């Protein structure tokens, strides 16, 4: 990422001004505090049953980039010059967080207890019966939504981004010590109501 302007809340400008950048100013750095703000804003994206299956691996250290470099051979300029590369994974066991999410929603008054008690068993039964392919497809769709929101959130903070699909998807999780069987790499009629988001410390880690 490279900074282009100060924080901008003009949505139209954010949408029309976003562009893909492959070479960045290597002197630009993003503090981890601001990165957490960007990621927190990204996690406001919708997800199936609010399971929030996205997991972020923020690669911003020389050591992390050195690990990533051989896995992204055709995107070396982005890896070398950007302030950070954010690898987005989909948690194939995201249903394990449903109790935490729905319990917090009840605590905050976003959801009645009886709705929580009715939905949780049904949702868990669905996950238990769903095929691996269906689960992965759902997680990847949610991952695409949060990826796009992440790029827009970064733009609102004055940073340009570039989505990368050319990397070794079968190796990246293991290279950074993640369970490759659990974390799948992602390439981006009722009234609405507030919803709970997992704390950024639970869904993001820095290397």
- Contact (CB, 8 A) for 42 and 146: yes
pLDDT in the model for residue 192: 47
The pLDDT tens digits for 3-39 are: 555 554 577 777 777 677 778 888 889 999 999 999 9
pLDDT in the model for residue 89: 96
Sequence length of the chain is: 207
Tokens of 66: 């050195």
Distances (CA, A) of 129 to 48, 96, 97, 120, 135: 16, 15, 18, 14, 10
Compute φ and ψ for 131, nearest 5 degrees: -70, 160
pLDDT in the model for residue 12: 75
Supply the DSSP symbol for 153: H
Percent of the chain residues past pLDDT 70, beyond the cut: 91
**Secondary element (H or E) of residue 98:** helix 98-107
Placement of tokens 């009722």 in the chain: 190
Q: Name the band, by pLDDT with cuts 50, 70 and 90, for residue 191.
A: very low
Please determine, for residue 45, whether its predicted confidence score (pLDDT) is greater than 90. Answer: yes
pLDDT in the model for residue 132: 94
Q: Name the band, by pLDDT with cuts 50, 70 and 90, for residue 122.
A: very high
pLDDT in the model for residue 22: 79
pLDDT in the model for residue 15: 72
3-state helix, strand, coil in the chain (%, to 5): 50, 15, 35
Average confidence (pLDDT) over 99-118: 97
- Contact (CB, 8 A) for 50 and 138: no
Please determine, for residue 207, whether its predicted confidence score (pLDDT) is greater than 70. Answer: yes
- Nearest to residue 8, comparing CAs of 159, 172, 148, 185? 159
Please determine, for residue 1, whether its predicted confidence score (pLDDT) is greater than 80. Answer: no
């Amino acid at each position: 990422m490279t900074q282009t302007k100060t924080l901008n809340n003009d949505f139209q400008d954010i949408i029309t001004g976003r562009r893909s950048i492959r070479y960045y100013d290597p002197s630009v750095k993003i503090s981890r505090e601001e990165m957490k703000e960007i990621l927190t804003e990204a996690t406001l994206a919708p997800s199936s049953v609010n399971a929030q299956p996205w997991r972020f691996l923020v690669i911003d250290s020389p050591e992390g980039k050195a690990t990533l470099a051989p896995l992204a051979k055709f995107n070396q300029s982005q890896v070398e010059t950007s302030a950070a590369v954010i690898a987005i994974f989909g948690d194939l066991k995201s249903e394990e967080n449903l109790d935490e999410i729905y319990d917090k929603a009840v605590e905050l008054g976003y959801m009645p207890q009886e709705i929580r008690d009715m939905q949780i068993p049904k949702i868990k039964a669905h996950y238990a019966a769903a095929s691996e392919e269906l689960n992965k497809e759902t997680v990847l769709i949610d991952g695409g939504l949060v990826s796009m929101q992440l790029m827009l959130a970064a733009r609102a903070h004055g940073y340009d981004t570039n989505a990368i699909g050319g990397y070794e998807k079968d190796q990246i999780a293991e290279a950074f010590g993640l369970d490759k069987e659990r974390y799948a790499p992602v390439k981006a009629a009722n009234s609405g109501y507030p919803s709970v988001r997992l704390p950024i410390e639970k869904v993001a880690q820095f290397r």
